[in-house]
Amino acid sequence: MIEQVIFFALAAVAIISAIAVVLSRNLFHAVMILGGFLLTIAGFYFLLNADFVGIMQVFVYVGGVIVVMLFGIMLTPHEANITNAAKLQQKLGTYIAVAALIGLLAMIFIRTTFITSPAEPVKDTVSLAGKLFMTNYVLPFEVISVLLLAALVGAIIVARKEEH
Amino acid sequence: MVSEIIYFSVFTIVGVAIVAIAIGLARILSTRKPTKAKLETYECGNLNVTGDPRIQFKIHYYIFALLLVLFDVEMIFVFPWAVVFKALGLFAFVEMLVFIAILLLGLYYAWRKGVLKWT
Amino acid sequence: MLSSTKLLEFASNYGIPVWALDGAIAIVFAVVLFAICAISVIINVYLLRKISADFQLRYGPMHVGWHGSLQLFADAIKLLTKEDIFPSNADRWIFRLAPVVTFVPAYLGFLVLPIGHGIVIQDLNVGLLYILAIPAIGVAGIIMAGFGSYNKYAIIGSLRSAAQMVSYEVPRALSIIGIVMIAGSAKLSSIVGAQHVWYIILQPIAFVVFLVSTLAEINSTPFDLPETESELVNGYYTEYSGMRFMFFFFAEYVALFAAATLTTVLFLGGWHGPGPEYLGPIWFTIKTFAMIWVIMWIKWTLPRFRIDQVMDLGWKVLLPLALINVLITGLVMMII
């Protein structure tokens, strides 16, 4: 019962803040509201008993990605009032893309049969995750380090190009 | 986890409320005589503020933030590994060595390319 | 949580749902925690003034109360009556929210901190990650203060602060890995419970890395570049006055207190100490204040770093050291 109340409260905050991010004219405000939105997502994870995923959501997204975005804003030259009105084709394209996305999501939502998992929630998610990384998912685990390396090298190359 | 969420929300609300109450109290107790000069942006005694403070900052800030995200993602994998390290033994240790070595390669690359240098 | 079977019984007898009981207890705890934070800040500021005075062969505050002990109350009353200035160029909402976003995460960190055997508000399984992740949200508040004030000093200060916190978060989190490996848990109470030998002895490298990066995280001298009085006029809170200024100040001292308590939990054996178990919180407090004293000692001894030195230290010295520490810990644990 209380789970439902928390879920709907979180969902309401998440939806309102997501809409606010999109509608906000000020980039800085948008990023800040996005941070709040990402916090509510962490709340959903906690509600699902995934405390490790939830806290990592805060750690990586709110503590990391939001800062990257803010520094990204600082990198771009600041122009107070950019009012480049979108052209008609651009607007039309946007509407079609959004409609297609909503249609797709709605289709997935209708097609899926939602089940309640009979499994008991895991007590110690961190150690279970650690065991699984080292046994069943060793290969993905190592591949991820290569992916991170690629991301790092890519970021450096892009950044250096920008510098010159 | 419901209890945790309730505690977290209640603590957040109480924290915000305390700040709001203190600022509200100050609003009642304090004087309010805004003048145009007082509300100017502070700038070393100048009355006329020059230029836009939101200048274009250097790329280094951005790269360091990107590095942070990469190592934060690494933390997702290292923490669970560290928790179960005792039970797993040599294989897990070697696995983690490979993982960290690959990341260190990235750090070494950044170092060699002079990205870590703050000029 | 505190043992509450009796409370649960009481609640079910009177038909009170568990969540309402939880919420009510949480409100009480939240207020108590705030009171503890406030008291710690008062003590810390007084100590800071007196210790800094001692280091510089001065008296420090002497006139208000016994040896100036009431000075801070006088300061608080003064700040309460100061005019709340909104610079006309400021982004009103960001400016308003910044002190809240800076202060609340610092205070939320204490939610998982065990101060005695079984005395902890919420003993999360991921407590260690929580206490790293939640206070880090404060960076956003600092950047908000800089952006919101629309002031050059404030923006430069806030970005320096953010860059510094970003750089030192990595070695700080990595230095703890060794402890997690030995304790086999990310739960703070189990980490303290496993410390029959203090981890400062088992993990000396980790302690040094952790302490240095913690100093950087809380912007304490030698890492006080974000608020250098001489060049940035206090950095990100230049434009703030009155109560809003006070909450930045408050957040800074709460962060100092949090840093000292976390060091106590991770390296100094938490509540362990001679004597019966109920003395735990007292030992904890003594160790915490010893840590605060050490931080202040460093603060008043070392001169400030340059920004390039700060960045070099973080990425080129502390990060490799933290990784080497993980390696050594792993090797030693494999051999033993």
Burial class (CB in 10 A: 0-12, 13-18, 19+), B37: exposed
Residue C1: the pLDDT is 46
Q: Do A72 and B62 touch (CB under 8 A)?
A: yes
Indicate the pLDDT class of residue A70, thresholds 50, 70 and 90. confident
Tell me: do A35 and A105 sit in the same domain.
yes
Indicate the pLDDT class of residue A97, thresholds 50, 70 and 90. very high
Each residue of B51-80: pLDDT tens digit?
666 666 777 778 788 888 888 888 888 888
Q: What is the mean pLDDT of residues B22-36?
A: 80
Give pLDDT < 70 ranges for chain C: 1-7, 225-234
Residue C226: the pLDDT is 66
**Chain B residues near residue A72 by CB distance under 8 angstroms:** 62
Tell me: do C160 and C292 sit in the same domain.
yes
Domain boundaries of chain B, sorted by first residue? 2-112
Measured between CB atoms, which of B4, B14, B96 is closest to C122? B4
Which residue has tokens 């901190």?
A: C113
Residue A102: the pLDDT is 93
The Cα of C64 is separated from the nearest Cα of chain A by a number of Å equal to 42
Measured between CB atoms, which of C132, C162, C185 is closest to A67? C162
Tell which of B81, B105, B109 to mutate to test the A interface (max A CBs under 10 Å). Answer: B81
Cβ-contact A37, A21 below 8 angstroms = yes
Report which of C248, C246, C260 is spatially closest to residue C297, judged by C-alpha positions: C260
Tell me: do C42 and C156 sit in the same domain.
no
Q: Tell whether B88 lies on the interface with C, counting CB pairs under 8 A.
A: no
Tell me: do C177 and C291 sit in the same domain.
yes
Each residue of A9-43: pLDDT tens digit?
999 999 999 999 988 888 888 888 999 899 999 98
Tell me: do C20 and C150 sit in the same domain.
no
* B:48-107 residues touching chain A, CB 8 A cutoff: 52, 54-57, 59, 61-63, 65-70, 72-77, 79-85, 87-88, 91-92, 95, 98-100, 102-103, 105-107
* B:20-79 residues touching chain C, CB 8 A cutoff: 20, 22-23, 25-27, 29-34, 36, 38-44, 49, 51, 53-55, 57, 60-61, 64-65, 67-68, 71-72, 75, 78-79
Q: Do C111 and B64 touch (CB under 8 A)?
A: no
The domain over range B2-112 is classified in CATH as 3.30.70: no
Residue A13: the pLDDT is 92
The Cα of C16 is separated from the nearest Cα of chain A by a number of Å equal to 13
Touching C (3+ Cβ pairs <8 A), the chains are A, B
Taking CA–CA distances from A124, the nearest residue in chain C reads C125
Q: Tell whether C181 lies on the interface with B, counting CB pairs under 8 A.
A: yes
Tell me: do A53 and A96 sit in the same domain.
yes
Tell me: do C106 and C75 sit in the same domain.
no
Residue A142: the pLDDT is 83
Tell me: do C192 and C160 sit in the same domain.
yes
Q: Tell whether C20 lies on the interface with B, counting CB pairs under 8 A.
A: no
Domain range for A14 is: 2-122
Tell which of C126, C152, C158 to mutate to test the A interface (max A CBs under 10 Å). Answer: C126
Q: What is the mean pLDDT of residues A132-148?
A: 84
| Residue ending a domain, choose from C81, C115, C141 | C81
Query: Which CATH number is A59's domain given?
Result: 1.20.120.1200
Specify the long-range contacts of residues C293-299, CB closer than 8 Å, at least 24 apart. Answer: C293/C47, C293/C51, C295/C215, C295/C220, C295/C256, C295/C259, C295/C260, C296/C47, C296/C48, C296/C51, C296/C52, C297/C51, C297/C55, C298/C215, C298/C220, C298/C221, C298/C222, C299/C52, C299/C220, C299/C221, C299/C222
Taking CA–CA distances from C90, the nearest residue in chain B reads B41
What value does the CA radius of gyration of chain B take, rounded to a whole number of Å? 25
CA angle C299, C302, C308 (to 5 degrees): 105
**pTM here?**
0.87
Tell me: do A107 and A130 sit in the same domain.
no
Residue A77: the pLDDT is 66
Percentage above 90 pLDDT, chain A: 20
Tell me: do A131 and A59 sit in the same domain.
no
Tell me: do C128 and C236 sit in the same domain.
yes
Residue C2: the pLDDT is 46
Tell me: do C68 and C155 sit in the same domain.
no
Taking CA–CA distances from A126, the nearest residue in chain B reads B80
The Cα of C52 is separated from the nearest Cα of chain A by a number of Å equal to 33
Distance of alpha carbon C247 from alpha carbon C253, whole angstroms: 10
Between helix A66-75 and helix B59-88 the angle, nearest 10°, is 160
Domain range for C217 is: 84-335
Tell me: do A83 and A103 sit in the same domain.
yes
Tell me: do A140 and A95 sit in the same domain.
no
Is the predicted pLDDT of residue B96 greater than 90, yes or no?
no
Tell me: do C115 and C173 sit in the same domain.
yes
User: Which phi and psi angles does C116 have, rounded to 5°?
Assistant: -155, 175
Q: What is the mean pLDDT of residues A152-161?
A: 78
**Global ipTM:** 0.84
**Chain A residues near residue B91 by CB distance under 8 angstroms:** 134
Tell me: do C47 and C104 sit in the same domain.
no
